[in-house]
Structure 1
Protein backbone atom coordinates (compact mmCIF):
# COMPACT_ATOMS: atom_id res chain seq x y z
CA UNK A 1 0.00 0.00 0.00
CA UNK A 2 2.95 2.37 0.60
CA UNK A 3 4.17 1.89 -2.93
CA UNK A 4 1.48 4.20 -4.34
CA UNK A 5 2.52 7.40 -2.46
CA UNK A 6 6.16 6.74 -3.27
CA UNK A 7 5.32 6.15 -6.90
CA UNK A 8 3.18 9.30 -6.97
CA UNK A 9 5.96 11.41 -5.46
CA UNK A 10 8.43 10.07 -7.98
CA UNK A 11 5.99 10.91 -10.76
CA UNK A 12 5.51 14.47 -9.45
CA UNK A 13 9.27 14.98 -9.16
CA UNK A 14 9.75 13.63 -12.65
CA UNK A 15 7.15 16.01 -14.06
CA UNK A 16 8.74 18.93 -12.21
CA UNK A 17 12.14 18.13 -13.69
CA UNK A 18 10.67 17.82 -17.16
CA UNK A 19 8.86 21.14 -16.77
CA UNK A 20 12.04 22.88 -15.63
CA UNK A 21 13.92 21.34 -18.53
CA UNK A 22 11.27 22.62 -20.94
CA UNK A 23 11.42 26.13 -19.45
CA UNK A 24 15.22 26.20 -19.68
CA UNK A 25 15.03 25.04 -23.28
CA UNK A 26 12.46 27.70 -24.20
CA UNK A 27 14.49 30.41 -22.43
CA UNK A 28 17.70 29.41 -24.22
CA UNK A 29 16.03 29.15 -27.63
CA UNK A 30 14.18 32.45 -27.17
CA UNK A 31 17.41 34.21 -26.18
CA UNK A 32 19.19 32.99 -29.30
CA UNK A 33 16.33 33.96 -31.61
CA UNK A 34 15.98 37.36 -29.88
CA UNK A 35 19.68 38.02 -30.38
CA UNK A 36 19.39 37.19 -34.09
CA UNK A 37 16.35 39.46 -34.46
CA UNK A 38 18.18 42.35 -32.78
CA UNK A 39 21.20 41.88 -35.05
CA UNK A 40 19.01 41.90 -38.14
CA UNK A 41 17.16 45.00 -36.89
CA UNK A 42 20.45 46.77 -36.25
CA UNK A 43 21.59 46.01 -39.81
CA UNK A 44 18.40 47.20 -41.53
CA UNK A 45 17.61 50.21 -39.32
CA UNK A 46 19.84 52.71 -41.13
CA UNK A 47 19.22 51.58 -44.75
CA UNK A 48 15.45 51.64 -44.17
CA UNK A 49 15.61 55.01 -42.39
CA UNK A 50 13.82 53.68 -39.30
CA UNK A 51 13.43 56.18 -36.43
CA UNK A 52 15.73 56.13 -33.40
CA UNK A 53 12.99 54.79 -31.10
CA UNK A 54 12.60 51.67 -33.25
CA UNK A 55 15.31 49.67 -31.44
CA UNK A 56 14.04 50.70 -28.00
CA UNK A 57 10.52 49.59 -28.88
CA UNK A 58 11.77 46.31 -30.34
CA UNK A 59 13.80 45.53 -27.20
CA UNK A 60 10.73 46.23 -25.04
CA UNK A 61 8.58 43.91 -27.19
CA UNK A 62 11.20 41.16 -27.07
CA UNK A 63 11.44 41.48 -23.27
CA UNK A 64 7.66 41.20 -22.99
CA UNK A 65 7.62 38.25 -25.36
CA UNK A 66 10.24 36.50 -23.22
CA UNK A 67 7.95 36.58 -20.18
CA UNK A 68 5.02 35.34 -22.26
CA UNK A 69 7.12 32.49 -23.70
CA UNK A 70 8.17 31.37 -20.19
CA UNK A 71 4.55 31.53 -19.05
CA UNK A 72 3.40 29.36 -21.93
CA UNK A 73 6.22 26.90 -21.28
CA UNK A 74 5.15 26.65 -17.61
CA UNK A 75 1.55 25.92 -18.58
CA UNK A 76 2.50 23.11 -20.97
CA UNK A 77 2.11 19.73 -19.30
CA UNK A 78 5.31 17.65 -19.42
CA UNK A 79 3.30 14.73 -20.72
CA UNK A 80 2.42 16.76 -23.81
CA UNK A 81 6.07 17.46 -24.49
CA UNK A 82 7.25 13.91 -23.84
CA UNK A 83 4.55 12.46 -26.08
CA UNK A 84 6.76 13.34 -29.01
CA UNK A 85 9.29 10.78 -30.03
CA UNK A 86 13.00 11.62 -29.55
CA UNK A 87 13.42 11.78 -33.30
CA UNK A 88 10.64 14.41 -33.53
CA UNK A 89 12.24 16.55 -30.84
CA UNK A 90 15.65 16.18 -32.46
CA UNK A 91 14.18 17.12 -35.83
CA UNK A 92 12.56 20.26 -34.42
CA UNK A 93 15.75 21.35 -32.65
CA UNK A 94 17.79 20.65 -35.79
CA UNK A 95 15.49 22.85 -37.87
CA UNK A 96 15.74 25.67 -35.36
CA UNK A 97 19.52 25.32 -35.28
CA UNK A 98 19.66 25.50 -39.09
CA UNK A 99 17.53 28.66 -39.05
CA UNK A 100 19.80 30.32 -36.48
CA UNK A 101 22.96 29.36 -38.40
CA UNK A 102 21.45 30.61 -41.66
CA UNK A 103 20.51 33.91 -40.02
CA UNK A 104 24.03 34.35 -38.67
CA UNK A 105 25.46 33.58 -42.11
CA UNK A 106 23.16 36.15 -43.67
CA UNK A 107 24.36 38.79 -41.17
CA UNK A 108 28.00 38.04 -41.95
CA UNK A 109 27.41 38.22 -45.71
CA UNK A 110 25.47 41.48 -45.27
CA UNK A 111 28.27 43.06 -43.26
CA UNK A 112 30.83 42.01 -45.87
CA UNK A 113 28.73 43.31 -48.76
CA UNK A 114 28.22 46.63 -46.97
CA UNK A 115 31.96 46.95 -46.44
CA UNK A 116 32.60 46.15 -50.09
CA UNK A 117 30.02 48.69 -51.20
CA UNK A 118 31.70 51.59 -49.41
CA UNK A 119 34.44 52.11 -51.99
CA UNK A 120 31.86 52.32 -54.77
CA UNK A 121 29.89 54.94 -52.86
CA UNK A 122 33.11 56.87 -52.28
CA UNK A 123 33.83 56.83 -56.00
CA UNK A 124 30.34 57.98 -56.93
CA UNK A 125 31.06 61.60 -56.11
CA UNK A 126 34.14 61.51 -58.37
CA UNK A 127 32.01 60.76 -61.40
CA UNK A 128 32.27 56.95 -61.23
CA UNK A 129 28.76 55.59 -60.80
CA UNK A 130 25.81 57.54 -59.44
CA UNK A 131 26.23 60.57 -57.14
CA UNK A 132 25.26 60.22 -53.48
CA UNK A 133 22.62 62.59 -52.11
CA UNK A 134 22.17 62.64 -48.31
CA UNK A 135 18.71 63.64 -47.03
CA UNK A 136 18.68 64.94 -43.45
CA UNK A 137 15.64 65.78 -41.33
CA UNK A 138 13.87 65.14 -38.03
CA UNK A 139 10.88 62.99 -37.10
CA UNK A 140 9.84 65.54 -34.42
CA UNK A 141 6.21 66.33 -35.37
CA UNK A 142 6.73 70.11 -35.44
CA UNK A 143 9.38 69.69 -38.12
CA UNK A 144 7.42 67.36 -40.43
CA UNK A 145 5.48 69.14 -43.16
CA UNK A 146 2.77 66.61 -44.06
CA UNK A 147 0.14 65.13 -41.75
CA UNK A 148 0.30 61.72 -43.42
CA UNK A 149 4.06 61.58 -42.87
CA UNK A 150 3.66 62.65 -39.23
CA UNK A 151 1.11 59.92 -38.56
CA UNK A 152 3.52 57.20 -39.64
CA UNK A 153 6.41 58.78 -37.67
CA UNK A 154 8.21 59.62 -40.90
CA UNK A 155 10.36 62.60 -41.88
CA UNK A 156 10.55 65.07 -44.74
CA UNK A 157 13.56 63.05 -45.88
CA UNK A 158 11.21 60.12 -46.52
CA UNK A 159 9.14 62.34 -48.80
CA UNK A 160 12.22 63.67 -50.59
CA UNK A 161 13.49 60.12 -51.07
CA UNK A 162 10.28 59.25 -52.90
CA UNK A 163 10.25 62.51 -54.92
CA UNK A 164 13.85 61.98 -56.09
CA UNK A 165 13.55 58.20 -56.36
CA UNK A 166 13.66 57.92 -60.15
CA UNK A 167 16.73 60.14 -60.62
CA UNK A 168 20.13 58.62 -61.36
CA UNK A 169 21.35 59.14 -57.80
CA UNK A 170 21.91 57.17 -54.60
CA UNK A 171 19.91 58.61 -51.69
CA UNK A 172 20.91 58.10 -48.07
CA UNK A 173 18.62 59.24 -45.25
CA UNK A 174 19.79 60.55 -41.89
CA UNK A 175 17.24 60.99 -39.10
CA UNK A 176 18.41 63.85 -36.90
CA UNK A 177 18.03 63.97 -33.14
CA UNK A 178 19.19 66.36 -30.45
CA UNK A 179 22.19 64.10 -29.75
CA UNK A 180 22.97 63.23 -33.40
CA UNK A 181 26.70 62.84 -34.04
CA UNK A 182 27.10 60.85 -37.26
CA UNK A 183 29.23 63.32 -39.18
CA UNK A 184 31.88 60.69 -39.89
CA UNK A 185 29.26 58.32 -41.33
CA UNK A 186 28.03 61.07 -43.66
CA UNK A 187 31.60 61.69 -44.80
CA UNK A 188 32.05 57.98 -45.53
CA UNK A 189 29.28 58.25 -48.12
CA UNK A 190 31.29 60.95 -49.89
CA UNK A 191 28.10 62.83 -50.84
CA UNK A 192 27.84 65.06 -53.87
CA UNK A 193 24.89 66.85 -52.30
CA UNK A 194 23.38 67.20 -48.82
CA UNK A 195 19.75 68.31 -48.39
CA UNK A 196 19.05 69.39 -44.81
CA UNK A 197 16.15 71.05 -43.01
CA UNK A 198 17.37 74.25 -41.39
CA UNK A 199 15.34 73.72 -38.19
CA UNK A 200 15.76 69.95 -37.91
CA UNK A 201 18.22 70.10 -35.01
CA UNK A 202 16.06 72.63 -33.19
CA UNK A 203 12.79 70.70 -33.54
CA UNK A 204 14.54 67.55 -32.27
CA UNK A 205 16.02 69.46 -29.34
CA UNK A 206 12.71 71.16 -28.52
CA UNK A 207 10.92 67.81 -28.54
CA UNK A 208 13.46 66.09 -26.28
CA UNK A 209 13.75 69.01 -23.85
CA UNK A 210 10.04 69.95 -24.00
CA UNK A 211 10.71 73.52 -25.10
CA UNK A 212 7.48 75.50 -25.42
CA UNK A 213 6.74 76.99 -28.84
CA UNK A 214 5.29 80.52 -28.91
CA UNK A 215 1.77 81.04 -30.16
CA UNK A 216 0.90 83.45 -32.98
CA UNK A 217 0.41 86.26 -30.46
CA UNK A 218 3.44 85.48 -28.25
CA UNK A 219 7.08 86.38 -28.49
CA UNK A 220 9.63 83.53 -28.29
CA UNK A 221 10.85 82.96 -24.74
CA UNK A 222 14.46 83.33 -23.66
CA UNK A 223 14.71 79.55 -23.39
CA UNK A 224 13.29 79.12 -26.90
CA UNK A 225 15.76 81.60 -28.40
CA UNK A 226 18.67 80.05 -26.53
CA UNK A 227 17.97 76.56 -27.84
CA UNK A 228 17.33 77.87 -31.34
CA UNK A 229 20.73 79.56 -31.29
CA UNK A 230 22.39 76.33 -30.11
CA UNK A 231 20.67 74.32 -32.86
CA UNK A 232 21.58 76.91 -35.51
CA UNK A 233 25.20 76.78 -34.42
CA UNK A 234 25.14 72.99 -34.67
CA UNK A 235 23.74 73.18 -38.21
CA UNK A 236 26.38 75.64 -39.42
CA UNK A 237 29.16 73.70 -37.69
CA UNK A 238 28.00 70.53 -39.45
CA UNK A 239 27.96 72.23 -42.86
CA UNK A 240 31.42 73.69 -42.27
CA UNK A 241 32.88 70.41 -41.07
CA UNK A 242 31.66 68.45 -44.10
CA UNK A 243 32.77 71.24 -46.46
CA UNK A 244 36.25 71.32 -44.92
CA UNK A 245 36.63 67.55 -45.20
CA UNK A 246 35.10 67.09 -48.65
CA UNK A 247 35.65 69.92 -51.16
CA UNK A 248 33.19 68.34 -53.63
CA UNK A 249 30.08 68.31 -51.43
CA UNK A 250 27.37 70.92 -51.96
CA UNK A 251 24.42 71.77 -49.73
CA UNK A 252 20.75 72.69 -49.96
CA UNK A 253 19.27 74.15 -46.76
CA UNK A 254 15.47 74.32 -46.84
CA UNK A 255 12.76 75.65 -44.54
CA UNK A 256 9.19 76.90 -44.60
CA UNK A 257 10.27 79.79 -42.39
CA UNK A 258 7.75 79.27 -39.58
CA UNK A 259 8.30 82.03 -37.03
CA UNK A 260 11.18 83.56 -39.02
CA UNK A 261 11.97 85.47 -42.19
CA UNK A 262 13.29 82.55 -44.25
CA UNK A 263 10.73 83.13 -47.00
CA UNK A 264 12.30 86.56 -47.62
CA UNK A 265 15.18 86.49 -50.10
CA UNK A 266 17.14 89.23 -48.33
CA UNK A 267 16.89 87.28 -45.08
CA UNK A 268 18.35 84.18 -46.75
CA UNK A 269 21.14 86.20 -48.40
CA UNK A 270 22.09 87.71 -45.05
CA UNK A 271 22.04 84.25 -43.43
CA UNK A 272 24.26 82.89 -46.19
CA UNK A 273 26.78 85.71 -45.79
CA UNK A 274 27.11 84.89 -42.08
CA UNK A 275 27.57 81.20 -42.82
CA UNK A 276 30.21 81.78 -45.50
CA UNK A 277 32.07 84.29 -43.32
CA UNK A 278 32.37 81.66 -40.59
CA UNK A 279 33.48 78.87 -42.95
CA UNK A 280 35.29 80.00 -46.08
CA UNK A 281 35.01 76.45 -47.44
CA UNK A 282 31.24 76.94 -47.78
CA UNK A 283 31.53 79.88 -50.16
CA UNK A 284 29.51 79.21 -53.31
CA UNK A 285 28.47 75.74 -52.12
CA UNK A 286 25.28 76.37 -50.09
CA UNK A 287 21.85 77.08 -51.56
CA UNK A 288 19.24 78.26 -48.98
CA UNK A 289 15.69 77.83 -50.31
CA UNK A 290 12.11 78.22 -49.05
CA UNK A 291 9.79 75.24 -49.35
CA UNK A 292 7.16 75.99 -52.04
CA UNK A 293 3.72 76.59 -50.55
CA UNK A 294 4.59 79.11 -47.88
CA UNK A 295 4.74 78.94 -44.09
CA UNK A 296 1.39 77.21 -43.64
CA UNK A 297 1.22 74.84 -46.59
CA UNK A 298 4.81 74.32 -47.71
CA UNK A 299 5.41 70.73 -48.76
CA UNK A 300 7.66 68.63 -50.98
CA UNK A 301 4.63 66.51 -51.87
CA UNK A 302 2.91 69.33 -53.73
CA UNK A 303 3.35 69.45 -57.53
CA UNK A 304 5.29 72.71 -57.22
CA UNK A 305 7.45 71.34 -54.41
CA UNK A 306 8.32 68.25 -56.46
CA UNK A 307 9.17 70.30 -59.53
CA UNK A 308 11.37 72.76 -57.64
CA UNK A 309 13.43 70.26 -55.68
CA UNK A 310 13.94 67.88 -58.61
CA UNK A 311 15.12 70.72 -60.85
CA UNK A 312 17.41 72.10 -58.13
CA UNK A 313 19.03 68.72 -57.41
CA UNK A 314 19.67 68.15 -61.12
CA UNK A 315 21.10 71.64 -61.52
CA UNK A 316 23.44 71.43 -58.52
CA UNK A 317 24.72 67.99 -59.46
CA UNK A 318 25.27 69.08 -63.05
CA UNK A 319 27.14 72.27 -62.09
CA UNK A 320 29.17 70.31 -59.58
CA UNK A 321 30.27 67.78 -62.20
CA UNK A 322 31.13 70.61 -64.59
CA UNK A 323 33.29 72.23 -61.91
CA UNK A 324 35.15 68.94 -61.25
CA UNK A 325 35.80 68.39 -64.98
CA UNK A 326 37.45 71.81 -65.37
Structure 2
Protein backbone atom coordinates (compact mmCIF):
# COMPACT_ATOMS: atom_id res chain seq x y z
CA UNK A 1 0.00 0.00 0.00
CA UNK A 2 1.48 3.35 -1.06
CA UNK A 3 2.35 5.84 1.65
CA UNK A 4 0.15 8.96 1.69
CA UNK A 5 1.58 12.04 -0.01
CA UNK A 6 3.38 14.43 2.31
CA UNK A 7 1.78 17.85 2.74
CA UNK A 8 3.88 20.42 0.93
CA UNK A 9 5.06 23.60 2.64
CA UNK A 10 6.94 26.42 0.92
CA UNK A 11 8.66 29.16 2.96
CA UNK A 12 9.06 32.23 0.75
CA UNK A 13 12.13 34.30 1.72
CA UNK A 14 11.88 37.92 0.59
CA UNK A 15 14.57 40.61 0.66
CA UNK A 16 15.20 41.69 4.25
CA UNK A 17 13.63 38.51 5.70
CA UNK A 18 13.84 38.15 9.47
CA UNK A 19 15.74 35.02 10.51
CA UNK A 20 13.41 33.86 13.25
CA UNK A 21 10.37 34.28 11.02
CA UNK A 22 12.03 32.12 8.35
CA UNK A 23 13.16 29.48 10.82
CA UNK A 24 9.85 28.95 12.63
CA UNK A 25 7.81 27.29 9.85
CA UNK A 26 10.89 25.54 8.47
CA UNK A 27 11.48 23.92 11.87
CA UNK A 28 7.89 23.32 12.94
CA UNK A 29 6.96 21.53 9.71
CA UNK A 30 10.24 19.66 9.31
CA UNK A 31 9.79 16.16 7.88
CA UNK A 32 9.75 13.42 10.53
CA UNK A 33 7.50 10.43 11.30
CA UNK A 34 5.22 12.51 13.49
CA UNK A 35 5.06 15.35 10.94
CA UNK A 36 3.87 14.34 7.44
CA UNK A 37 5.18 17.48 5.76
CA UNK A 38 7.85 18.32 3.21
CA UNK A 39 9.37 21.81 3.36
CA UNK A 40 11.08 23.85 0.66
CA UNK A 41 12.66 27.23 1.39
CA UNK A 42 12.47 29.41 -1.70
CA UNK A 43 12.90 32.96 -2.95
CA UNK A 44 11.93 35.12 -5.89
CA UNK A 45 14.71 33.19 -7.64
CA UNK A 46 17.10 30.44 -6.60
CA UNK A 47 20.36 31.72 -5.12
CA UNK A 48 21.37 34.17 -2.41
CA UNK A 49 18.72 36.36 -0.75
CA UNK A 50 19.84 39.29 1.42
CA UNK A 51 18.07 39.10 4.76
CA UNK A 52 17.73 41.30 7.81
CA UNK A 53 20.06 41.42 10.81
CA UNK A 54 23.18 40.98 8.67
CA UNK A 55 22.20 37.52 7.42
CA UNK A 56 21.71 36.09 3.94
CA UNK A 57 19.86 32.98 2.78
CA UNK A 58 20.92 30.53 0.12
CA UNK A 59 17.73 29.11 -1.36
CA UNK A 60 17.67 26.27 -3.86
CA UNK A 61 14.22 27.01 -5.28
CA UNK A 62 12.53 29.97 -6.92
CA UNK A 63 8.85 30.79 -7.31
CA UNK A 64 8.17 27.37 -8.86
CA UNK A 65 8.00 26.09 -5.26
CA UNK A 66 4.72 28.01 -4.87
CA UNK A 67 3.25 25.98 -7.73
CA UNK A 68 4.17 22.81 -5.78
CA UNK A 69 3.04 23.84 -2.28
CA UNK A 70 -0.18 23.17 -0.39
CA UNK A 71 0.74 25.80 2.22
CA UNK A 72 2.88 28.89 1.62
CA UNK A 73 4.47 30.85 4.46
CA UNK A 74 5.58 34.44 3.96
CA UNK A 75 7.97 35.33 6.81
CA UNK A 76 8.31 38.90 7.99
CA UNK A 77 10.81 41.24 6.34
CA UNK A 78 12.37 44.63 7.01
CA UNK A 79 10.70 47.91 5.98
CA UNK A 80 7.50 46.37 4.60
CA UNK A 81 5.79 49.76 4.43
CA UNK A 82 8.29 51.21 1.93
CA UNK A 83 7.58 49.19 -1.21
CA UNK A 84 5.77 46.07 -2.36
CA UNK A 85 7.54 42.82 -3.23
CA UNK A 86 8.29 42.29 -6.96
CA UNK A 87 5.28 41.80 -9.23
CA UNK A 88 6.41 38.25 -10.03
CA UNK A 89 6.20 37.37 -6.32
CA UNK A 90 2.70 38.79 -5.99
CA UNK A 91 1.52 36.98 -9.12
CA UNK A 92 2.94 33.71 -7.82
CA UNK A 93 1.14 34.15 -4.49
CA UNK A 94 -2.13 34.89 -6.32
CA UNK A 95 -1.70 31.84 -8.54
CA UNK A 96 -1.00 29.62 -5.52
CA UNK A 97 -4.14 30.89 -3.81
CA UNK A 98 -6.25 30.42 -6.92
CA UNK A 99 -5.31 26.75 -7.18
CA UNK A 100 -6.21 26.16 -3.50
CA UNK A 101 -2.99 26.60 -1.51
CA UNK A 102 -3.29 28.28 1.89
CA UNK A 103 -1.17 31.40 2.42
CA UNK A 104 0.13 32.22 5.90
CA UNK A 105 2.05 35.36 6.85
CA UNK A 106 4.26 35.74 9.90
CA UNK A 107 4.63 39.28 11.25
CA UNK A 108 5.24 41.81 8.46
CA UNK A 109 4.79 39.12 5.82
CA UNK A 110 1.18 40.31 5.98
CA UNK A 111 2.20 43.29 3.82
CA UNK A 112 3.08 40.94 0.96
CA UNK A 113 -0.32 39.24 1.19
CA UNK A 114 -2.00 42.63 1.44
CA UNK A 115 -0.30 43.77 -1.77
CA UNK A 116 -1.94 40.88 -3.65
CA UNK A 117 -5.42 42.05 -2.60
CA UNK A 118 -6.17 38.69 -0.97
CA UNK A 119 -6.69 40.32 2.43
CA UNK A 120 -9.22 42.88 1.19
CA UNK A 121 -12.47 42.61 3.13
CA UNK A 122 -10.89 40.20 5.64
CA UNK A 123 -9.56 40.43 9.18
CA UNK A 124 -5.78 40.36 9.45
CA UNK A 125 -3.01 41.24 11.85
CA UNK A 126 0.72 41.93 11.84
CA UNK A 127 3.38 42.98 14.34
CA UNK A 128 1.93 45.63 16.65
CA UNK A 129 4.56 48.15 15.49
CA UNK A 130 3.15 48.00 11.94
CA UNK A 131 -0.60 47.59 12.44
CA UNK A 132 -1.37 51.26 11.84
CA UNK A 133 0.82 51.33 8.74
CA UNK A 134 -0.95 48.25 7.37
CA UNK A 135 -4.38 49.76 8.02
CA UNK A 136 -3.39 53.11 6.45
CA UNK A 137 -1.88 51.58 3.34
CA UNK A 138 -4.59 48.96 2.80
CA UNK A 139 -7.87 50.42 4.15
CA UNK A 140 -9.94 47.54 2.74
CA UNK A 141 -8.37 45.21 5.34
CA UNK A 142 -9.94 44.94 8.81
CA UNK A 143 -6.71 45.14 10.79
CA UNK A 144 -6.94 43.71 14.32
CA UNK A 145 -4.00 44.94 16.35
CA UNK A 146 -4.81 43.04 19.56
CA UNK A 147 -4.63 39.41 18.44
CA UNK A 148 -1.81 36.89 18.02
CA UNK A 149 -3.09 35.47 14.75
CA UNK A 150 -6.12 35.48 12.46
CA UNK A 151 -7.39 32.45 10.53
CA UNK A 152 -9.53 33.51 7.58
CA UNK A 153 -9.47 30.08 5.94
CA UNK A 154 -7.40 30.44 2.75
CA UNK A 155 -5.26 33.23 4.25
CA UNK A 156 -3.81 33.44 7.75
CA UNK A 157 -1.79 36.19 9.40
CA UNK A 158 0.10 36.45 12.68
CA UNK A 159 1.74 39.09 14.82
CA UNK A 160 5.40 39.16 15.90
CA UNK A 161 7.84 36.27 15.49
CA UNK A 162 6.83 34.26 18.57
CA UNK A 163 3.21 34.32 17.48
CA UNK A 164 4.38 32.58 14.31
CA UNK A 165 4.81 29.50 16.52
CA UNK A 166 1.22 29.91 17.70
CA UNK A 167 0.06 30.15 14.08
CA UNK A 168 2.02 27.04 13.09
CA UNK A 169 0.63 25.06 16.03
CA UNK A 170 -2.87 26.26 15.13
CA UNK A 171 -2.39 24.95 11.58
CA UNK A 172 -1.11 21.65 12.97
CA UNK A 173 -4.19 21.34 15.17
CA UNK A 174 -6.40 21.94 12.14
CA UNK A 175 -4.49 19.45 9.96
CA UNK A 176 -3.57 16.66 12.36
CA UNK A 177 -5.39 17.27 15.65
CA UNK A 178 -4.48 18.41 19.16
CA UNK A 179 -2.16 15.50 19.99
CA UNK A 180 0.13 16.30 17.04
CA UNK A 181 0.27 20.02 17.85
CA UNK A 182 0.96 19.32 21.52
CA UNK A 183 3.75 16.92 20.53
CA UNK A 184 5.30 19.62 18.34
CA UNK A 185 4.93 22.19 21.13
CA UNK A 186 6.81 19.92 23.54
CA UNK A 187 9.57 19.47 20.97
CA UNK A 188 9.82 23.26 20.58
CA UNK A 189 9.47 23.88 24.34
CA UNK A 190 6.60 26.20 23.47
CA UNK A 191 3.19 26.86 24.98
CA UNK A 192 0.90 24.18 23.52
CA UNK A 193 -2.02 26.55 23.09
CA UNK A 194 -2.43 30.29 22.97
CA UNK A 195 -5.71 31.41 21.47
CA UNK A 196 -5.43 33.64 18.45
CA UNK A 197 -7.53 36.14 20.37
CA UNK A 198 -4.89 36.54 23.07
CA UNK A 199 -3.52 40.06 23.24
CA UNK A 200 -0.24 41.00 21.56
CA UNK A 201 2.61 42.14 23.72
CA UNK A 202 2.79 45.88 24.22
CA UNK A 203 5.66 47.49 26.17
CA UNK A 204 4.92 48.65 29.72
CA UNK A 205 6.76 51.45 31.48
CA UNK A 206 6.78 49.46 34.74
CA UNK A 207 7.51 45.69 34.81
CA UNK A 208 4.51 43.58 35.81
CA UNK A 209 5.51 41.61 38.94
CA UNK A 210 2.51 39.27 38.81
CA UNK A 211 3.34 37.66 35.47
CA UNK A 212 5.23 34.67 36.86
CA UNK A 213 2.70 34.16 39.62
CA UNK A 214 -0.17 34.09 37.16
CA UNK A 215 1.76 31.74 34.89
CA UNK A 216 2.04 29.36 37.85
CA UNK A 217 -1.71 29.65 38.43
CA UNK A 218 -2.43 28.82 34.80
CA UNK A 219 -0.18 25.75 35.05
CA UNK A 220 -1.91 24.69 38.27
CA UNK A 221 -5.30 25.15 36.65
CA UNK A 222 -4.39 22.85 33.76
CA UNK A 223 -3.68 20.09 36.29
CA UNK A 224 -7.00 20.60 38.10
CA UNK A 225 -9.52 21.03 35.29
CA UNK A 226 -11.77 18.26 36.64
CA UNK A 227 -12.27 20.18 39.89
CA UNK A 228 -14.73 23.02 40.52
CA UNK A 229 -12.95 26.19 39.45
CA UNK A 230 -14.24 29.70 39.84
CA UNK A 231 -12.72 33.16 40.08
CA UNK A 232 -12.32 32.93 43.85
CA UNK A 233 -10.40 29.64 43.62
CA UNK A 234 -8.02 30.98 40.99
CA UNK A 235 -7.47 34.27 42.80
CA UNK A 236 -6.76 32.41 46.04
CA UNK A 237 -4.09 30.34 44.30
CA UNK A 238 -2.55 33.52 42.86
CA UNK A 239 -2.67 35.17 46.32
CA UNK A 240 -4.49 38.28 45.11
CA UNK A 241 -8.04 39.53 45.35
CA UNK A 242 -10.56 38.25 42.77
CA UNK A 243 -10.93 41.77 41.38
CA UNK A 244 -7.18 42.21 40.93
CA UNK A 245 -6.79 38.72 39.49
CA UNK A 246 -9.58 39.24 36.96
CA UNK A 247 -8.21 42.59 35.80
CA UNK A 248 -4.56 41.53 35.58
CA UNK A 249 -5.41 38.19 33.97
CA UNK A 250 -7.32 39.95 31.20
CA UNK A 251 -4.41 42.34 30.64
CA UNK A 252 -1.97 39.42 30.38
CA UNK A 253 -4.03 37.09 28.18
CA UNK A 254 -6.68 39.17 26.44
CA UNK A 255 -9.48 37.07 27.91
CA UNK A 256 -11.29 36.59 31.21
CA UNK A 257 -10.13 33.91 33.67
CA UNK A 258 -13.25 31.77 33.24
CA UNK A 259 -13.19 32.06 29.45
CA UNK A 260 -9.57 30.84 29.58
CA UNK A 261 -10.57 27.91 31.82
CA UNK A 262 -13.40 26.94 29.48
CA UNK A 263 -11.09 26.96 26.45
CA UNK A 264 -8.49 24.93 28.34
CA UNK A 265 -11.17 22.35 29.18
CA UNK A 266 -12.31 22.13 25.57
CA UNK A 267 -8.70 21.79 24.38
CA UNK A 268 -8.05 18.94 26.83
CA UNK A 269 -11.31 17.28 25.78
CA UNK A 270 -10.20 17.49 22.14
CA UNK A 271 -7.00 15.61 22.90
CA UNK A 272 -8.86 12.91 24.85
CA UNK A 273 -11.47 12.56 22.10
CA UNK A 274 -8.68 12.01 19.58
CA UNK A 275 -6.35 9.80 21.59
CA UNK A 276 -8.50 7.80 24.03
CA UNK A 277 -11.44 5.41 23.84
CA UNK A 278 -13.24 6.93 26.81
CA UNK A 279 -16.81 7.92 26.05
CA UNK A 280 -17.91 11.52 25.78
CA UNK A 281 -19.51 11.58 29.23
CA UNK A 282 -16.33 10.28 30.90
CA UNK A 283 -14.16 12.81 29.07
CA UNK A 284 -16.49 15.65 30.01
CA UNK A 285 -16.16 14.63 33.67
CA UNK A 286 -12.36 14.35 33.36
CA UNK A 287 -12.01 17.94 32.17
CA UNK A 288 -14.84 19.56 34.13
CA UNK A 289 -17.19 20.32 31.23
CA UNK A 290 -20.21 19.16 33.21
CA UNK A 291 -23.57 18.31 31.72
CA UNK A 292 -24.30 17.20 28.17
CA UNK A 293 -25.90 20.57 27.47
CA UNK A 294 -22.85 22.45 28.74
CA UNK A 295 -20.31 20.41 26.81
CA UNK A 296 -22.26 20.75 23.55
CA UNK A 297 -22.62 24.49 24.13
CA UNK A 298 -18.91 24.98 24.84
CA UNK A 299 -17.77 22.84 21.91
CA UNK A 300 -20.15 24.59 19.53
CA UNK A 301 -18.97 27.98 20.74
CA UNK A 302 -15.23 27.24 20.47
CA UNK A 303 -15.06 24.75 17.58
CA UNK A 304 -18.36 25.08 15.74
CA UNK A 305 -19.14 21.38 16.18
CA UNK A 306 -20.22 18.81 18.80
CA UNK A 307 -17.92 16.44 20.73
CA UNK A 308 -19.34 13.44 18.85
CA UNK A 309 -18.80 15.03 15.45
CA UNK A 310 -15.31 16.13 16.48
CA UNK A 311 -14.35 12.58 17.49
CA UNK A 312 -15.73 11.25 14.21
CA UNK A 313 -13.59 13.72 12.27
CA UNK A 314 -10.37 12.69 13.99
CA UNK A 315 -11.02 8.94 14.22
CA UNK A 316 -9.46 7.09 11.28
CA UNK A 317 -11.97 5.04 9.32
CA UNK A 318 -11.27 1.34 8.71
TM-score relative to the length of structure 2: 0.28
Structure of larger gyration radius: 1
Which structure has the highest helix share of the two?
A: 1
